[in-house]
Structure 1
Amino acid sequence: MATPSLQDGIDNAGSPIALLWKPGAAPWTPEVVEREYAGWRREQAAWHEGVALLNLSHHMYDLWIEGPDATRLLADHGANNFEKFAVGQAKQYVPVTKDGNIVTDGILAREAENRYLLSGIPAAQHWVQYHAEKGGYDVSFVTDPSSAYRRGGGDPVLFRYQVQGPFAQDLVERAFGGPLPETKFFHSTPVALDGRRFRALRHGMAGQAGFEFIGPWEHAAPVHEAFIEAGEPLGLVQVGALAYTTPNVESGWIPSPVPAIYSDPDLLEYRKHLPLYGIEGQRPLNGSYFSTDIEDYYCSPYELGYGRMISFNHDFLGRDALAKAKDAVRRTKVTLLFDAGDVLDVIGRGRDPGFRLTYARHRVESATGLVGVTMQTASIDPVGTLLSLALVDKEYAEPGTQVRVVWGEHPGSGTDPEADLGFPRVRATVHPVPFNLHARTLYRRNA
Structure 2
Amino acid sequence: MTTPSLQDGIDKAGSPVGLLWQPGADPWTPEVVAREYAGWRVEQRAWHEGVALLNLSHHMYDMWIEGPDATRVLAEYGANNFEKFAVGQAKQYVPVTRHGHIVTDGILAREAENAYLLSGVPAAQHWVQYHAEKGGYDVSFTTDPSSAFRPGGGDPKLFRYQIQGPLALDLIGKVFGGPIPETKFFHSTPVTLDGRSFKALRHGMAGQAGYEFIGPWEHAAYVHEAFLRAGEPLGLVQVGALAYTTPSVESGWIPSPVPGVYSDPELAEYRAWLPLFGIEGKRPLNGSYFSPDIEDYYVSPYELGYGKMIHFGHDFHGRDALLAAKQDESLRTKVTLVLDPEDVRRVLGAGDDPGFVLSYARNRVEGADGLVGVTMQTASIDPVGTVLAQTLVDPAHAAPGTEVAVVWGEHPGPGTDPGADLGFPRIRATVQPSPYDRHARTAYRHDA
* Matched residue SS, 2:18: helix
- TM-aligned CA deviation for residue 205 of structure 1: 1.7
Unaligned runs of 5+ in 2: none
Is 1:400 paired with 2:423?
no
* Matched residue SS, 1:417: coil
Residue-pair matches, total: 447
1:286-307 per-residue CA deviation (whole Å, 9 max, x = no partner) reads 0000000000000000000000
Is 1:434 paired with 2:435?
yes
| Match runs of 1:338-357 below 5 Å | 338-357=339-358
Q: Distance in 1 between matches of 2:320 and 2:383?
A: 43
- 2:42 is matched with 42
| Match runs of 1:333-412 below 5 Å | 333-412=334-413
- 1:227 is matched with 227
- 1:201 is matched with 201
1:221-277 per-residue CA deviation (whole Å, 9 max, x = no partner) reads 000000001111100000000000000100000000000000000000000000000
* Matched residue SS, 2:248: helix
Give the counterpart letter for 1:74 in structure 2.
Answer: L
| Match runs of 1:229-308 below 5 Å | 229-308=229-308
Q: Distance in 1 between matches of 2:402 and 2:46?
A: 31
- TM-aligned CA deviation for residue 351 of structure 1: 3.6
* Matched residue SS, 1:108: strand
- TM-aligned CA deviation for residue 395 of structure 1: 1.0
- TM-aligned CA deviation for residue 206 of structure 1: 1.1
Q: Which stretches of structure 1, 4 residues or more, deviate above 3 A after TM superposition?
A: none
- 1:162 is matched with 162
1:112-169 per-residue CA deviation (whole Å, 9 max, x = no partner) reads 0000000001000000000000000000011000000000000000000000000000
* Matched residue SS, 1:179: coil
- TM-aligned CA deviation for residue 349 of structure 1: 4.3
- 1:79 is matched with 79
Q: Distance in 1 between matches of 2:59 and 2:445?
A: 25
1:44-71 per-residue CA deviation (whole Å, 9 max, x = no partner) reads 0000000000000000000000000000
* Matched residue SS, 2:257: coil
| Match runs of 1:138-177 below 5 Å | 138-177=138-177
Unaligned runs of 5+ in 1: none
Q: Distance in 1 between matches of 2:311 and 2:121?
A: 23
Give the counterpart letter for 2:121 in structure 1.
Answer: I
Give the counterpart letter for 2:442 in structure 1.
Answer: T
CA RMSD of aligned residues (A): 0.6
Give the counterpart letter for 1:24 in structure 2.
Answer: G
Give the counterpart letter for 1:387 in structure 2.
Answer: L
- TM-aligned CA deviation for residue 207 of structure 1: 1.1
TM-score by length of 1: 0.99
- TM-aligned CA deviation for residue 442 of structure 1: 1.6
- 2:58 is matched with 58
Give the counterpart letter for 1:431 in structure 2.
Answer: Q
Give the counterpart letter for 2:400 in structure 1.
Answer: P
Give the counterpart letter for 2:358 in structure 1.
Answer: L
Give the counterpart letter for 2:410 in structure 1.
Answer: E
* Matched residue SS, 2:288: coil
* Matched residue SS, 2:81: coil
Give the counterpart letter for 1:400 in structure 2.
Answer: G
- TM-aligned CA deviation for residue 350 of structure 1: 3.5
Q: Distance in 1 between matches of 2:6 and 2:441?
A: 39
Q: Distance in 2 between matches of 1:23 and 1:2?
A: 29
Deviates more, 1:370-379 or 1:321-330: 321-330
Q: Distance in 1 between matches of 2:178 and 2:443?
A: 24
Give the counterpart letter for 1:133 in structure 2.
Answer: E
Q: Distance in 2 between matches of 1:134 and 1:72?
A: 14
TM-score by length of 2: 0.99
Q: Distance in 1 between matches of 2:430 and 2:333?
A: 15
Give the counterpart letter for 1:342 in structure 2.
Answer: D
Is 1:18 paired with 2:18?
yes
* Matched residue SS, 1:166: coil
- TM-aligned CA deviation for residue 319 of structure 1: 0.1
